[in-house]
Amino acid sequence: MTRFRPYFRYLRAVRGPIILAIACGLLYGAATGAGLPLLVKYVFPRIFAPGDAPVPFLQVALVAAYIPLIFALRALSGYLNGYFTQFAGVRVLEAIRLDYFKKLQVLPLSFVQGKQTGDLMSRGLSDTQQLQFTLTLLANDGIKQPATLISALAAVGYLAFTTQGVWLALVCLAAVPLTVFPVRFVGRKVIKRAAQVQSQLGGVSSHFSENLAAAREVRAFGLEERETSRFAAACRALITSQMKIVKYSQALTPAIEVISAAGIAVTLVYAYRSGLKLETFIALITALYSSYEPVKKLGALNNELKRGTAALDRLEFVLNEPVLISDPAQAAVVARLRGEITFSAVSFAYQADAPVLQDVSVKIPAGTVCALVGPSGAGKSTFANLVPRFYETASGTVAIDGIDVRAMRLGDLRRNIALVSQDPVLFNDTILENLRLGRADATRAEVEQAARDAFAHDFIVNLEGGMGYDTIVGERGGRLSGGQKQRVALARAFLRNAPVLILDEATSALDSDSEASIQRALKQLVVGKTVLIIAHRFSTIRDASKIIVFDHGRIAGVGSHAELYAGNALYRSLYDRQSNGGGLDRST
């Protein structure tokens, strides 16, 4: 119970329904635990008591009315308890999922990219569902079943004590504490398996996610049977773990029932030797049965608490992850930046023992078109990603216009930066709304002009279906070709009109004709802006006024193409390697 106490704050927003659920649960418990035994003890004997005089019909009718009254009260209170609990539960689920999703939005990219997508999804969907079920079950049976148990035990004690004294009461109640032992035993077994099941469920989700993301590769390489076998193996492992939980959970009820039966048998023997009347004995047995039933349900609740604990552990792995990149307490006032970028003794590593950038210092004046070149893994993309503060430097500072990026609000910083990646992501929305991601307040005319600048307008208005800018692009833009997606992403950058532009091979997915058109458009786009071009192909750096060469996380050279080609062996070898294969002009 203590483990879940911090999360009871989610119940504050639904305190009204929770209070009603608790009140109904207490009423249900009283009607079940005490109402039925007292019905047997005091109502039935009035009708079936021995005697020559018949019982008046009106009295029989009034006594009989007590039966549906008790059951109606029990049914109504049970229904309302369940309804209000479920109402609160779905609101709690919404709040937990929202907090989880919010946390993912502010965690560093290194955290998100270092985890399996399917596993993160499973934590946000399956684990939150399990936690919601646990919390609502706790709010429901955590009130209703103890109330039923207490009422039933009170009825047992009252009936036994008033009939035969304290010894009969002790005999009747002696077996109840014994039911705790199977509950504790099963609880220990379940907690060991619950975390394993939640983790394996995340693994199954990861298989799903990975397979769907690689649908083309699966078919191209004939991996259908391999993928099916892998998924089947993951499902079998999950089922094995789930059945182990079922094995122990299902053993709980029979164990408690055997103990209960033994207790009832002892009570029967003692009642016989004490000369107990039949109606009193039946009332006692009814009360005893009413006390064992909530014990079984409390045992099941204990098992659910173990599962909820396992789900909570997986959620807290994300919820308790420290937010390393956030707005400063006293942020610098930033409007539109000029775009002068300065790296001062910057080092960075994704893992402590594997530095990606080491003691990098360079100044890129505002309005410079700067290409970042070097072998794969040399640190080009990491260098660019530190500018919008996607990652935090291990040491040193990154500044724009002399202001440390850590001194700016993230919103202010990133509003001054436009990014076009090699593999642009479009959301499952209209082309219009995907373009407005660049600037939410843009008018329709401004959006269309940005599309024209990126040579995207013509293909947009001629899309199949005739919806034009209102065409839904599908998940990750799946209804558009690679070149079309790239031009939409470029149009987004035109619309943003930020002073700093990061291009990660922004024309790589275009055919030669489209690339030539985009290169002409980029000449207009980069005017007055600081541009970082992450160059994997040297044909993209022809307009760069400055080139930075990276090698093993260090800057190996800075200058123009002519300067570097003449004086930097690494740059010359990289350039010649592509030039020989692609016919590049060495005077570029």
Instruction: State residue 216's pLDDT score.
Output: 67
Between CA 184 and CA 252 the distance in angstroms is 10
Between CA 237 and CA 197 the distance in angstroms is 9
Instruction: State residue 524's pLDDT score.
Output: 73
Give the residue among 267, 249, 239, 237 at the shortest CA–CA distance from 168: 267
pLDDT band at 584 (very low <50, low <70, confident <90, very high): very low
Between CA 65 and CA 72 the distance in angstroms is 11
Between CA 543 and CA 539 the distance in angstroms is 9
Interval 79-105 mean pLDDT: 84
pTM of the model: 0.69
Instruction: State residue 546's pLDDT score.
Output: 92
Instruction: State residue 366's pLDDT score.
Output: 93
Sign of the Cα pseudo-torsion (383, 385, 386, 388, in order): positive
pLDDT at 343 over 90: yes
Between CA 460 and CA 469 the distance in angstroms is 6
Interval 404-424 mean pLDDT: 89
In the numeric block, which tokens belong to residue 230?
């892998």
Give the residue among 481, 459, 455, 477 at the shortest CA–CA distance from 468: 459
DSSP 309-339: HHHHHHHHHHHTS---S---SSPPP-SS---
Instruction: State residue 408's pLDDT score.
Output: 94
Q: Which residue has the higher pLDDT, 172 or 18?
A: 18
At 255, give phi and psi (nearest 5°): -60, -45
Q: Of the given ranges (97-101, 280-284, 420-424), which has the lowest mean pLDDT? A: 280-284
Between CA 285 and CA 267 the distance in angstroms is 8
pLDDT band at 126 (very low <50, low <70, confident <90, very high): confident
Give the residue among 72, 73, 70, 48 at the shortest CA–CA distance from 59: 48
pLDDT digits (tens, 9 = 90+) for 278-333: 666 777 677 767 776 777 777 777 777 877 888 888 888 888 888 888 899 888 98
Instruction: State residue 405's pLDDT score.
Output: 94
Interval 179-191 mean pLDDT: 69
Q: Which residue has the higher pLDDT, 179 or 552?
A: 552
Instruction: State residue 348's pLDDT score.
Output: 92
Helix ranges restricted to H, 31-173: 36-38, 44-48, 57-106, 109-113, 117-122, 128-164, 166-173
pLDDT band at 53 (very low <50, low <70, confident <90, very high): low
Q: Which residue has the higher pLDDT, 445 or 106?
A: 445
pLDDT at 472 over 80: yes
pLDDT digits (tens, 9 = 90+) for 500-530: 999 887 665 556 666 666 677 677 777 788 9
pLDDT at 221 over 90: no
Between CA 385 and CA 547 the distance in angstroms is 17
Give the C-alpha distances (Å, rounded to integers) separating 56 from 46, 197, 279. 11, 63, 21
CB 255 within 8 A of CB 292: no
CB 126 within 8 A of CB 205: yes
CATH topology agreement for domains 2-319 and 336-416+532-583: no
Give the C-alpha distances (Å, rounded to integers) separating 583 from 24, 157, 538. 81, 97, 11
The domain spans of the chain are: 2-319, 336-416+532-583
Instruction: State residue 578's pLDDT score.
Output: 76
Instruction: State residue 341's pLDDT score.
Output: 95
Interval 79-83 mean pLDDT: 82
Instruction: State residue 587's pLDDT score.
Output: 38
Would you give the distance in Å from CA 508 to the centre of its chain? 34
Helix ranges restricted to H, 387-511: 410-415, 431-436, 444-453, 457-461, 482-496
Q: Of the given ranges (71-80, 183-192, 543-552), which has the lowest mean pLDDT? A: 183-192
pLDDT digits (tens, 9 = 90+) for 542-579: 668 899 999 999 999 999 888 898 989 999 998 888 77
Instruction: State residue 37's pLDDT score.
Output: 66
Between CA 415 and CA 417 the distance in angstroms is 6
The residues pairing with 372 across neighbouring beta strands, listed in sequence order, are 534, 548
Instruction: State residue 1's pLDDT score.
Output: 58
User: Mean pLDDT across the chain, nearest whole number?
Assistant: 79
Sign of the Cα pseudo-torsion (34, 35, 36, 42, in order): positive
Instruction: State residue 542's pLDDT score.
Output: 67
Interval 116-122 mean pLDDT: 81
Instruction: State residue 583's pLDDT score.
Output: 43
pLDDT band at 463 (very low <50, low <70, confident <90, very high): confident
In the numeric block, which tokens belong to residue 491?
């149009």
Query: Given 3.40.50.2300, 3.40.50.720, 3.30.70.260, 3.40.50.300, which CATH number is that of 336-416+532-583?
Result: 3.40.50.300
pLDDT band at 586 (very low <50, low <70, confident <90, very high): very low
Residue 104 makes CB contacts below 8 A (sequence gap 6+) with 112, 120, 124, 318
The class (CATH top level) of 2-319 is: mainly alpha
pLDDT digits (tens, 9 = 90+) for 260-292: 677 767 766 766 667 767 666 777 677 767 776
Instruction: State residue 247's pLDDT score.
Output: 74
Instruction: State residue 146's pLDDT score.
Output: 80
Instruction: State residue 157's pLDDT score.
Output: 72
Extract long-range pairs of 112-116: CB within 8 Å, 24+ residues apart. Answer: 114/350, 116/202, 116/203, 116/206, 116/209, 116/210
- Amino acid symbol at 441: D
Percent of the chain predicted with pLDDT > 90: 15
Instruction: State residue 36's pLDDT score.
Output: 62
Q: Of the given ranges (125-134, 249-258, 479-488, 548-557), which has the lowest mean pLDDT? A: 249-258
- Burial class for 73, CB neighbours closer than 10 Å (0-12, 13-18, 19+): middle
Q: Which residue has the higher pLDDT, 151 or 436?
A: 436
pLDDT band at 46 (very low <50, low <70, confident <90, very high): low
Q: Which residue has the higher pLDDT, 354 or 399?
A: 399
Interval 72-99 mean pLDDT: 82
pLDDT at 396 over 70: yes
